[in-house]
Amino acid sequence: MPELPEVETTRRGIEPHIKGQRIAECYVRQPSLRWPVPVSALEAIKGEPIERVERRGKYLQLVTPVGVVLVHLGMSGSLRVLTEPLAAGKHDHVDICMENGAILRLNDPRRFGSVLWDDLTKLHPLLADLGPEPLSDDFSGDYLYRSAAKRRVAIKQHIMNSQVVVGVGNIYANEALFRAGIDPRRQAGRISHERMTSLVAEIKQVLAAAIEQGGTTLRDFVNSEGKPGYFKQSLNVYGRGGQPCVTCGTALSEIRQGQRATVFCADCQR
């Protein structure tokens, strides 16, 4: 599932090719994604320029003067830019065509992604309750400590709550907690201010490193073959249950938390 670094890498990959371009046509081949695609709204943005491409959490925002197209990649979605026409495949559900000939194409085999419309009259409901961006100054040790006060929920589930902080998905929650030396099962409200500050720093570092790696190793977003290939991450714990800890050599433990795999070192993480 694309997580925040993959979504941010997607944003950086497509923006240079569509920013400032006017929309010539929108083709919706499959309107039944996670939510119905607002076909009439997409038809209404013909002739409008894409002023910028932004990201809020895992939502990409194609900003026009009359509103915003929200794109979520779901479990298996991807975006790429075509510089010449290419016959659509089975899972190519939406094309946004520019006047210069470029085509922004959404491919989504499992159809858990979404294309929605925000008319700017009020904050879209899907964005209204989101917490701060993890790489912003608003996400600090003091903020995370206060948000966890008296909370009995496990710290891993706390930092994966999008109302607390957006975009800290399962992979990066595992990795940041390992780097901070915090047991993912520990109650959020029982972690000191100092350790919360350390955890915030590790979340920022692991996400920034993943974005940087994606920016240098992701295949070109302008192509006619296949989907963008996301970077292979160098991971300390995620996906390594039962293998030796890179720090102490102890076999890593693997449990389920909130239906997600959690891998940690019982010796290094307290």
Q: Is the pLDDT of residue 114 over 90?
A: yes
Has residue 153 been placed in a domain? yes
To the nearest whole percent, how much of the chain has pLDDT over 90? 80
Choose, from 11, 56, 58, 195, the residue flagged as catalytic: 58
Residue ranges at the known binding site: 91, 110, 151
For residue 178, what is the domain's CATH number? 1.10.8.50
Based on the residue annotation, tell me whether 2 is a catalytic residue of this protein: yes
Same-domain status, 104 and 176: no
Same-domain status, 115 and 146: no
pLDDT for position 3: 85
* Rounded Cα gap, residues 128 and 125, in angstroms: 5
pLDDT for position 227: 53
Residue ranges at the known binding site for DNA: 91, 110, 151
Based on the residue annotation, tell me whether 232 is a catalytic residue of this protein: no
For residue 21, what is the domain's CATH number? 3.20.190.10
Domain holding 242, by residue range, is: 141-264
Based on the residue annotation, tell me whether 195 is a catalytic residue of this protein: no
Has residue 129 been placed in a domain? no
Cβ–Cβ < 8 Å for 237, 146: no
The whole-model pTM stands at 0.89
Q: What is the pLDDT of residues 174-201, one digit of tens each?
A: 999 999 999 999 999 999 999 999 999 9
pLDDT for position 213: 81
User: Is residue 213 exposed (0-12), middle (13-18) or buried (19+ Cβ within 10 Å)?
Assistant: middle
Has residue 248 been placed in a domain? yes
Q: Is the pLDDT of residue 220 over 70?
A: no
Same-domain status, 55 and 99: yes
pLDDT for position 225: 47
Same-domain status, 204 and 236: yes
Q: Is the pLDDT of residue 233 over 80?
A: no
Same-domain status, 172 and 104: no
What are the distances in angstroms from CA 185 to CA 216, 221, 262?
34, 39, 9
- Quick one: DSSP state of residue 219? P
- The domain total for the chain is 2
Q: What is the pLDDT of residues 29-87, one digit of tens each?
A: 999 999 999 999 999 999 999 999 999 999 999 999 999 999 999 988 889 899 888 89
Based on the residue annotation, tell me whether 225 is a catalytic residue of this protein: no
Choose, from 12, 19, 34, 260, the residue flagged as catalytic: 260
Has residue 126 been placed in a domain? no
Has residue 269 been placed in a domain? no
Same-domain status, 176 and 67: no
Has residue 131 been placed in a domain? no
Choose one of 64, 89, 119: the last residue of a domain. Answer: 119
Same-domain status, 112 and 179: no
Choose, from 2, 5, 38, 184, the residue flagged as catalytic: 2
Choose one of 87, 119, 151: the last residue of a domain. Answer: 119
Same-domain status, 148 and 99: no
User: Is residue 111 exposed (0-12), middle (13-18) or buried (19+ Cβ within 10 Å)?
Assistant: middle
